[in-house]
Chains A and B, each alone.
Chain A
Amino acid sequence: MPKDHGIGAAQKRREDVRFLTGAGRYTDDISAYGQTYCVFLRSDVAHGTINSIDTSDAEAMPGVVRIFTGKDFEGIGGLPCGWQVTDKHGEPMKEPGHPVLAQGKVRHVGDPFAAVVADSLEEARNAAEAIVYDIEELPAVVDMKAALAEGATKVHDDLSDNLCYDWHLGSDQAAIDEAFANAAHVTTLELINNRLVANPMEPRVALGEYNRANDESTLYTTSQNPHVIRLLMGAFVLGIPEHKLRVVAPDVGGGFGTKIFHYAEEAFVTFASRQINRPVKWTSTRSEAFMSDAHGRDHVTKIELALDADNNFIGLRTDTLANMGAYLSTFSSSVPTWLHGTLMAGNYKTPAIQVNVRAVFTNTVPVDAYRGAGRPEATFQLERLVDKAARELGVDPIALRRQNFIESFPYATPVAVEYDTGDYVATMDKLEEMIDRPGFEARRKESEAKGKLRGLGINCYIEACGIAPSNLVGQLGARAGLYDAATVRVNATGSISVMVGAHSHGQGHETAFPQVVAEMLGIDESMIDIVHGDSSKIPFGMGTYGSRSLAVCGSAMVRATEKIINKAKKIAGHLLEASDADIELKDGKFTVAGTDKSVAWGDVTLAAYVPHNYPLEDIEPGLEETAFYDPSNFTYPSGAYACEVEVDPETGRVTIESFAAADDFGNVVNPMIVEGQVHGGIGQGIGQALLESCIYDENGQLLSASYMDYAMPRAEDVPFYKVDHSCVTPCTHNPLGVKGCGEAGAIGSPPAVVNAVIDALASGGFNVEHIDMPVSPHRVWKAMQG
């Protein structure tokens, strides 16, 4: 019998009732009395000198309250980067200034250089059009290789060049050289990990409200981590102390990473509302989102694998260029380094690995974490490479993988991380069981009979999530701690509010988190609510990204609940006139062990708040506990994925016929939510593999600037997925034994799709080594032309 309560129950998401009935309350649904509207004037050139901005006509237009330019932000902090990467020479990365409104120069299409605040949105737009400006266009650098060339136009005049850092990780040069010198076979692959735009359904919104009465500012914003925004904006940009700054992230309609970062618009509305003493709201248009939301991925990589004569992997080296865009977004610098280089061992016991990454400034929108952040880039290059090696060696791609799997844990990789646990054989076995591999040849024949080429693509993945041990990431350059926090507030009648640092914007925390507390206390989930998203209500936690919420914040919640249980047992012991050591908590009842003497949950909680009969000399009244949890390691979800495609050889069109995912997420709290997370992740992975592509022309103009040209995946583009998460190796170091499932689908799926396309083409006699994503019909057709 599947459980219907507590850990392991596939409970329906309680938050969906409000989302599906239009009762969600998003940032744009919030309006403040006397609210003004703000419109940003954004650069339409990729690079230019601001010679003049004349706002005088615009200021005289109806409804205009005030117009701001970069000058208004002189002496005010710039947007900070939260992670300082140290390069391979021990030097800190180059960190250019990032003013809230551009000063002196604009550096990408969409860079804001003026903002109009007016009584209505229409008036603000009208006035923005009336601003007269002279921006002298300069040559732009878009291509990363060109940006690194001698004499290239500099994105930032005050830096020596466009190289942000030159970083490496892993085995020493001698070990790598030896591996490649001894190799019986070397497989090499050059590829691009395509730039993506996250495109959450809800565009970004920010509403700043200043309260003159107590000198307090409130920012309502579409954020995945309100406390991080409060810290960054308060301390680094505007100089507002925490107790005078409240950040609220209400219902958020999807984040996918792009709502982690602290954005100029947030600082602007908070600043401007203090200046004009009225609330200021900005709502991004979809067009603005394309040119102002941080983009994702955008790596160019050369990767090489050395194999010995028995096809054992003996060495791996990579050389990657990672696009930072024009400025360093909040976590941009960490993505191609510590979130990417550390994953290059993948599932394999390759003894020598060296990762080289150069991060490059270009005149494009800043690039930062997007679902998977660094791990999809790592997985894609490695799993495409292994597939290519199998093809070159004429061996079975699954057998080659199996032969090189890490099989004993813990396993310290050559790239700085230690996998605590995993079972890659088990997930691969499960996958093979799910996909009916023996039946593939028959399916291929059926496709051929329809004039289609069928291909099967396989890959594994390993990822690191649950970021992170603070002392470790501190050494690596993180400028924040990466613990999380939870407060469990038991009310007098026994109901519970859990205030959590994690933010839910599609992950289903409001359902899954209560399941954990309900399991621990033996009470019903309906008695428990999660409170999140408001810095004035929740403890200082770091928010939701990197599949960390349950592993890190959930662990804090477990610790706080344990404290509650300990205290409640003391109260129960007092009420039952027994030692608290003899008290057992089961099904919401405290019982003296070995007797039928018991007291109910509600009686204990009531006693805590109405302490008439209470051990006041020993313990305080009340029942509320907070815990901060700092993990001792990352968690390492892993799995094996398979995709079958059909390619129409006449048009190059790829259709996905089936997709299977066998994941090991450790223990699972709510299998239905996990399944949904995997579905969503695979959908985005298929989007990256087949459809999505953010394209600039050589002048830095954004060509894919709307849904007319940026292809999002739709329901018809994805199959009914087969997913499984029955292979469980519990995480060894957090109390729930959980690993994280939010990004796996996006990490694990792109290589399976591309491997399948290459396999399909090979079956038709087309010897195509690689096709860059998105594997569009045009690209497939071109590859087939040779």
Chain B
Amino acid sequence: MYSFEIESPTSVADAVAALGQEEAQALGGGQTLIPSLKARLASPAVLVSLKNIDEIKGVSSDGGTVTIGGGTTHATVAEEVADSYPALSALAGNIGDPAVRNRGTIGGSLANNDPSACYPAAALASGATIVTNTREIAADDYFQGMFTTALEEGEIITSVRLPVPEKAAYVKFEQPASRFALVGVFVAKFADGVRVAVTGASEEGVFRWTEAEEALSGNFSADALSGLSVPADGMIGDLHGSGEYRAHLVAVLTKRAVAAAG
């Protein structure tokens, strides 16, 4: 770790101001950022901790939408949306281990947009809106490839609004070492159609499997997917699985997610 200054503002406005400094970076739960600082892979001059900003924490539920503060931990999400959005609760409750879940935040996860992370699948499948200090971004516009998002420098995710589907499930096939998603599929059925988001698989990061969405929108059952597959081209191939294997898993897990959504 290189040395850095740390600030802990208590309002979004102060945090935005602090992030205006030279080489400043936001610190959420630190579950991604701190390891990379320790390995000296990042060297921000100032860390702006979002931990003390109450206005970006907590969960509220309003009719068909849950709104989650950007600084809300995975553990809190798992607990608070257990009734309102069970599939999301299950997803959050299976990220990492208790220590990770008690610190890591949804805002940090979405800002980081790790290609194997879980939340991006939920946000994209739910058709979420990412709310920042300056604007609102539709999930479809937000995710722009591995570790790349629509966020501008210094922009803070203040909350995420997720429309609650009628039925939904997330099925995660764990990478054996990291236990992130080797492939994860989030299926969300709304009155006006089905959305399927896939994480872990593509070199482009989280994506929507539109063919599956179309098939499922007409007939929300695993059978509707038979014969459908994603091309192995452009899928991640690494120590833990080839592109072909990931493509295969996308189809298997999507069926399972549909079955689990009921």
A-side residues, CB < 8 A to B, are 122, 125, 129, 287, 650-651, 653, 690-691, 693, 695, 703-704, 707-712, 774, 776-778, 781-782
Question: Given A651-B252, A691-B177, 19 other A-B contacts at CB below 8 A?
Answer: A122-B3, A129-B40, A650-B252, A651-B249, A691-B176, A707-B177, A707-B178, A709-B177, A709-B239, A709-B240, A710-B177, A711-B177, A712-B177, A777-B176, A777-B182, A778-B240, A778-B245, A781-B245, A782-B242
Report the separation of the CA atoms of residues A122 and B1 in the bound assembly, to the nearest whole angstrom: 8
Interface centre among B3, B176, B178, B245 (most CB of A within 10 A): B176
Q: Is B39 an interface residue (CB 8 A)?
A: yes
* B45 CB, min distance to chain A CBs, angstroms: 16
Q: Is B173 an interface residue (CB 8 A)?
A: yes
Report the separation of the CA atoms of residues A707 and B39 in the bound assembly, to the nearest whole angstrom: 14
Report the separation of the CA atoms of residues A653 and B176 in the bound assembly, to the nearest whole angstrom: 10
Render B150-181 as a binary contact track against A, CB cut-off 8 A, 1 for contact.
Answer: 00000000000000000000000100111000
Closest to A690 in B: B176
Question: Residue B239 contacts which of A703, A712, A781 (CB distance < 8 angstroms)?
Answer: A703
Smallest CB-CB A-B distances: 6 pairs = A711-B177, A711-B176, A778-B241, A708-B178, A650-B252, A778-B245
* A120 CB, min distance to chain B CBs, angstroms: 11
Residues of A within 8 A of B239 (CB): 693, 695, 703-704, 709
Closest to B246 in A: A778
Report the separation of the CA atoms of residues A81 and B248 in the bound assembly, to the nearest whole angstrom: 48
Render B221-262 as a binary contact track against A, CB cut-off 8 A, 1 for contact.
Answer: 000000000000000000111100100110010000000000
* A127 CB, min distance to chain B CBs, angstroms: 13
* B237 CB, min distance to chain A CBs, angstroms: 10
Render B1-23 as a binary contact track against A, CB cut-off 8 A, 1 for contact.
Answer: 10100000000000000000000
Residues of A within 8 A of B249 (CB): 651
Report the separation of the CA atoms of residues A761 and B162 in the bound assembly, to the nearest whole angstrom: 43
Closest to B240 in A: A778
Interface centre among A129, A774, A781 (most CB of B within 10 A): A781
Closest to B249 in A: A651
Residues of A within 8 A of B178 (CB): 707-709
Interface centre among A650, A693, A707 (most CB of B within 10 A): A650
Answer whether A776 and B176 are a contact pair too, CB < 8 Å, given A122-B3, A709-B239: yes
On chain B, the number of residues with a Cβ less than 8 Å from chain A's Cβ atoms is 17
Interface centre among B3, B182, B239, B242 (most CB of A within 10 A): B239
Whether A782 contacts B245 by the Cβ 8 Å rule is yes
Whether B39 contacts A287 by the Cβ 8 Å rule is yes
Question: What are 17 A-B residue pairs whose CB atoms fall within 8 Å in the complex?
Answer: A122-B1, A125-B40, A287-B39, A650-B252, A651-B173, A651-B252, A707-B177, A708-B177, A708-B178, A709-B177, A712-B177, A774-B176, A776-B176, A777-B173, A777-B176, A777-B241, A778-B241
Closest to B248 in A: A781
Residues of A within 8 A of B176 (CB): 690-691, 711, 774, 776-777
Closest to B178 in A: A708
Closest to B245 in A: A778
Residues of A within 8 A of B182 (CB): 777
Residues of A within 8 A of B177 (CB): 691, 704, 707-712
Residues of B within 8 A of A703 (CB): 239
Q: From DSSP, what is the main secondary structure of chain A's interface residues?
A: loop
Residues of A within 8 A of B240 (CB): 709, 776, 778
B-side residues, CB < 8 A to A, are 1, 3, 39-40, 173, 176-178, 182, 239-242, 245, 248-249, 252
* B183 CB, min distance to chain A CBs, angstroms: 9
* B68 CB, min distance to chain A CBs, angstroms: 27
Residues of A within 8 A of B3 (CB): 122
Report the separation of the CA atoms of residues A707 and B3 in the bound assembly, to the nearest whole angstrom: 25
Report the separation of the CA atoms of residues A711 and B173 in the bound assembly, to the nearest whole angstrom: 15
* A648 CB, min distance to chain B CBs, angstroms: 9
* A712 CB, min distance to chain B CBs, angstroms: 8
Residues of A within 8 A of B252 (CB): 650-651
* B118 CB, min distance to chain A CBs, angstroms: 16
Report the separation of the CA atoms of residues A709 and B238 in the bound assembly, to the nearest whole angstrom: 10
Closest to A695 in B: B239
Residues of A within 8 A of B39 (CB): 287
Residues of B within 8 A of A781 (CB): 245, 248
Report the separation of the CA atoms of residues A287 and B39 in the bound assembly, to the nearest whole angstrom: 9
Closest to A697 in B: B239
Report the separation of the CA atoms of residues A767 and B56 in the bound assembly, to the nearest whole angstrom: 56
Report the separation of the CA atoms of residues A777 and B182 in the bound assembly, to the nearest whole angstrom: 11
Closest to A652 in B: B245
Report the separation of the CA atoms of residues A37 and B64 in the bound assembly, to the nearest whole angstrom: 58
Report the separation of the CA atoms of residues A704 and B240 in the bound assembly, to the nearest whole angstrom: 10
Report the separation of the CA atoms of residues A616 and B240 in the bound assembly, to the nearest whole angstrom: 74
Report the separation of the CA atoms of residues A114 and B248 in the bound assembly, to the nearest whole angstrom: 47
* B206 CB, min distance to chain A CBs, angstroms: 19
* B194 CB, min distance to chain A CBs, angstroms: 21
Report the separation of the CA atoms of residues A548 and B187 in the bound assembly, to the nearest whole angstrom: 56
Residues of B within 8 A of A709 (CB): 177-178, 239-240
* A786 CB, min distance to chain B CBs, angstroms: 13
Whether A778 contacts B40 by the Cβ 8 Å rule is no
Residues of B within 8 A of A651 (CB): 173, 249, 252
Report the separation of the CA atoms of residues A651 and B247 in the bound assembly, to the nearest whole angstrom: 11
* B28 CB, min distance to chain A CBs, angstroms: 20
Residues of A within 8 A of B248 (CB): 781
* B122 CB, min distance to chain A CBs, angstroms: 21
Residues of B within 8 A of A708 (CB): 177-178
Report the separation of the CA atoms of residues A589 and B245 in the bound assembly, to the nearest whole angstrom: 72
Report the separation of the CA atoms of residues A129 and B43 in the bound assembly, to the nearest whole angstrom: 14
Closest to B182 in A: A777
Residues of B within 8 A of A695 (CB): 239
Whether B242 contacts A778 by the Cβ 8 Å rule is yes
Report the separation of the CA atoms of residues A709 and B40 in the bound assembly, to the nearest whole angstrom: 19
Report the separation of the CA atoms of residues A216 and B233 in the bound assembly, to the nearest whole angstrom: 64
Residues of B within 8 A of A287 (CB): 39
Report the separation of the CA atoms of residues A6 and B149 in the bound assembly, to the nearest whole angstrom: 66
Residues of A within 8 A of B241 (CB): 777-778
Report the separation of the CA atoms of residues A596 and B182 in the bound assembly, to the nearest whole angstrom: 76
Residues of B within 8 A of A778 (CB): 240-242, 245
Report the separation of the CA atoms of residues A709 and B175 in the bound assembly, to the nearest whole angstrom: 9
Report the separation of the CA atoms of residues A39 and B40 in the bound assembly, to the nearest whole angstrom: 14
Residues of A within 8 A of B40 (CB): 125, 129
Report the separation of the CA atoms of residues A763 and B206 in the bound assembly, to the nearest whole angstrom: 37
* A143 CB, min distance to chain B CBs, angstroms: 17
Residues of B within 8 A of A711 (CB): 176-177
Residues of A within 8 A of B245 (CB): 778, 781-782
Residues of A within 8 A of B242 (CB): 778, 782
Report the separation of the CA atoms of residues A479 and B1 in the bound assembly, to the nearest whole angstrom: 44
Residues of B within 8 A of A122 (CB): 1, 3
* A782 CB, min distance to chain B CBs, angstroms: 7
Report the separation of the CA atoms of residues A173 and B248 in the bound assembly, to the nearest whole angstrom: 50
Residues of B within 8 A of A125 (CB): 40
* A311 CB, min distance to chain B CBs, angstroms: 38
Report the separation of the CA atoms of residues A122 and B40 in the bound assembly, to the nearest whole angstrom: 11
Residues of B within 8 A of A777 (CB): 173, 176, 182, 241
Report the separation of the CA atoms of residues A707 and B100 in the bound assembly, to the nearest whole angstrom: 15
Report the separation of the CA atoms of residues A712 and B182 in the bound assembly, to the nearest whole angstrom: 16
Report the separation of the CA atoms of residues A695 and B178 in the bound assembly, to the nearest whole angstrom: 16
Report the separation of the CA atoms of residues A704 and B176 in the bound assembly, to the nearest whole angstrom: 12
Report the separation of the CA atoms of residues A711 and B40 in the bound assembly, to the nearest whole angstrom: 23
Interface centre among A650, A704, A776, A778 (most CB of B within 10 A): A778
Report the separation of the CA atoms of residues A709 and B176 in the bound assembly, to the nearest whole angstrom: 8
